[in-house]
Amino acid sequence: MNIAILTCKNIKDETCIGCHRCLMAFDKKEGEFERYKGTDAKLRGLVHCGGCPGTSPVLRLVMLKTWMAPLGETIDAIHIGTCLLDNCPYIDTIMKKVKAKAGVDVIEGSHPYKPVKVFGD
């Protein structure tokens, strides 16, 4: 099973260090990736939304499909990154577009590593 994660361009490019939390959660099969425990699931792509107002997530997924095709690979499920779910004012529009066009399972969420508080215990 091949997995892609759709992320927020602004967060991915400016504050998220290489999408570390998504990568760690996938490796450890935690958060929404727990469903892949005991499987041969592989992370095949981290694709961002294209930036506000989220006008090109589908086009970016098409680009991923195009790049994967010569290798005989495809995506079986798309996770909507925690960054998009928790921060994006356009998430409803993005979800609607991706679910309408993906043709595979679209799963809401990726990593579970959200701080309860910024400072203090």
Digit-by-digit pLDDT tens for the chain (121 residues) are 999 999 998 877 666 665 788 999 999 999 999 999 999 999 999 999 998 998 899 999 999 999 999 999 999 999 999 999 998 999 999 999 999 999 999 999 999 887 778 787 6
Q: Helix (H, G, I), strand (E, B), or coil: what is residue 10?
A: helix
The dihedral built from the CA positions of residue 72, 5, 17 and 13, taken in this order, carries a sign that is positive
**Whole-number pLDDT of residue 70:** 97
**Whole-number pLDDT of residue 18:** 57
Structure tokens at 72: 């005989």
- Please state whether the predicted TM-score (pTM) of the whole model is above 0.85: yes
Sketch out the chain's domains with CATH numbers.
2-108 (3.40.50)
* Burial (0-12, 13-18, 19+ Cβ within 10 Å), 29: middle
